[in-house]
Amino acid sequence: MKQIKIFDTTLRDGSQGAGISFSVEDKLKIASALDEFGISYIEGGWPGSNPKDEEFFQLAKNKFKHSKLVAFGSTRRAGLKAEDDNNLKKIVESGAKVVCIFGKSWDLHVKYALKTSLKENLNMISDTISFLKSKKFEVIYDAEHYFDGYIHNKKYALQTIKAAIDAGADYVCLCETNGGVLPSYIEKIVKETIKEFPDTKFGIHAHNDCECAVANSIMAVLSGCEMVQGTINGIGERCGNANLCSIIPSLQLKGKYRCVPVRNLKNITELSRYVDEIANLIPNDCLPYVGRNAFAHKAGVHVSAIKKDSRTYEQINPKHVGNRRNILVSDLSGKSNIVSKADELAMDLEKDKNLRGIINIVKEKENEGYQYENADGSFYILTKKVENKCKDFFTLKSYRVSVEKNADGSIVSEATVKLDVNGKEEHTVAEGEGPVNALDKCLRKALIKFYPEIKNVLLTDFKVRVINSDANTAARVRVLIETKDKKQSWGTIGVSENIIDACWQALSDSVEYKLLKK
């Protein structure tokens, strides 16, 4: 298998995405995870641009077991010697042994962005790389806007590549910076460029402005590139960078390429979600390979087929990338969906006489606005109730929620709950950050002495969706709550014209599911 070097720029190019800001501690955590995963190069940032990146390099140098730490920067400024450029001095002081330097390949940028001559730009590329090689750096040269430059002025674009190679660049990475070039052009230009410089190692750096970053990166590898630059989950400026979570499994499982150690590929889904968590991003459930919906099946025909042979509707075994199959239950469900979902939840319904009743109730509930696709906990409770196997752990007698805004602007939410628990009335009061938090605290306060196992149950996500918006303020709302303990997570749902009542349904289901599973 041919080795492809994976160059991760999540900490630098990825951090330029809208709404993303990594602390030094965040960057260290992500870098450690990338190193453990087996990424070849980790671009830590631009040491000369801000104090945060300088601190990161001081803390991260010599820390990695597998990866090489890369400092990022640009060619020297026009009219300045490389050794006198402050940004290059910061790179030398960074402690990194690899540097990625970008320079201009498109004459448009030289004229209007740098406002210098085409000859001086060539000198800037050559001088910068020569200086860094004299300091014993491994140098990766990023040929910025290379494909646009090649299309508009092929001769000059090739001259910039030659300047980098003659100065000693170890890799030349061809950058599709604007994200607007299609795969057929990538293939043609990469092949022609490699033919001009057959002894040079080339890479690809693609952006996603026309949704082709992954395709362009794979096409570049098929055309001869040996390095791929990208980010975890494709985060980055504008529409993002090439998504390594799609590129790595595509090359490794479908092509004869080795990107990371084989044993590590099953950890890519965990890595994807870990980076989203640190970046405080809502995971994109529809991402290929690693998304929660990547192996989700809703139509009964599909579910029936994959039970016989998963290849009918799945491109790979989800276990290869650390993901799992997800059978969705909805008003489109047939017997196969219900039985498969029950299997996931360790329930045996194949011969259950109540199976048709469960299907009918699910369809009735969906018509009312319930949606069990992400509410396994509520679906589990529903089936147990149909089978008369659902114990009454507690019964609601009443609840009350109040919200008070004070003169100083502070808002206090208070909930009162009365429950019957094993024949005993529990009356609790709690304040919270909001009405849902107050209700949640009340419920736990009432139940904890009877069921201490709920101590480690935490509410992790809360979503509200208006179902029939044409009803305006009288519309029905759907509340989805995600809950977890030390071993698993589960979703529950509530639907009502009253948002507090919908919240109560989902909250009480979340606790009831935990107790039922025990």
pLDDT at 516: 87
Please check whether residue 370 lies inside any domain of the structure: yes
Q: Where is the domain boundary, 433, 450, 467?
A: 450
pLDDT of amino acid 308: 81
Q: pTM of the prediction? A: 0.74
Check whether residue 384 and residue 414 sit in a common domain.
no
Residue at 297 is within a domain: no
- In a domain, residue 246? The reply is yes
Number of structural domains the chain divides into: 3
- Among 331-340, 356-365, 463-472, where is mean pLDDT lowest? 331-340
The verdict on 50 and 178 lying in the same domain is: yes
Q: At what angle do helices 376-386 and 499-517 cross, to 10 degrees?
A: 70
Q: What's the CATH code of the domain at 385?
A: 3.30.160.340
Regarding whether 378 and 265 lie in a shared domain, the answer is: no
Q: Are residues 446 and 461 in the same domain?
A: no
The answer to whether residue 358 scores a pLDDT higher than 90 is: no
Confidence of residue 203 (pLDDT cuts 50, 70, 90): very high
CA 114 to chain centre: 35
The whole-angstrom separation of Cα 60 and Cα 96 is: 9
β 202-206/2-3 pair status: unpaired
Q: Give residue 302's pLDDT.
A: 77
Q: Which of 52, 51, 42, 105 is nearest to 72 (CA)?
A: 42
Q: Report whether pLDDT(159) > 90.
A: yes
Residue 394 has pLDDT above 80, yes or no: yes
Of 229, 244, 279, the residue that ends a domain is 279
Predicted confidence at residue 407, as pLDDT, reads 86
Q: Are residues 248 and 366 in the same domain?
A: no
pLDDT for residue 344 is more than 80: no
**Is 151 a member of any domain?**
yes
pLDDT band at 336 (very low <50, low <70, confident <90, very high): low
Eight-class DSSP state of 233: G
| Same domain assignment for residues 268 and 365 | no
Alpha-carbon distance of 312 to 315, in angstroms, equals: 8
Of 486, 499, 493, 497, the closest CA to residue 512 belongs to 493
User: CA of 289: how far to CAs of 245, 263, 267, 317, 495, in Å?
Assistant: 7, 16, 11, 10, 32
- What is the pLDDT at residue 65? 93
Q: CA 499 to CA 497: how far, in whole Å?
A: 6
- Which alpha helices (DSSP H) does 255-308 contain, by range? 268-279, 300-308
| Full strand arrangement of the beta sheet holding 395-405 | 395-405, 411-421, 424-432
Instruction: State which residues form the domain around 425.
Output: 399-450
What's the farthest any 2 CA atoms get from each other in the chain?
Answer: 88
Q: Is residue 285 part of a domain?
A: no
Contact status, residue 24 vs residue 54, Cβ threshold 8 Å = no
How much is the pLDDT for 354?
Answer: 67
- Residue 12 half-sphere exposure toward CB, CA atoms < 13 A: 27
pLDDT band at 262 (very low <50, low <70, confident <90, very high): very high
Rounded mean pLDDT, 343-366: 68
Whether residue 473 has pLDDT greater than 60: no
Greater confidence (407 vs 259) lies with 259
**Percent of the chain whose pLDDT exceeds 90:** 69
Angle, helices 300-308/335-344, rounded to nearest 10 degrees: 60
**d(Cα 241, Cα 14) in Å, to the nearest integer?**
7
pLDDT in the model for residue 329: 66
End-to-end CA distance of the chain: 48
Span 397-409, average pLDDT: 91
Residue that terminates a domain, selected from 264, 279, 294: 279
β-strands 2-3, 424-432 pairing: unpaired
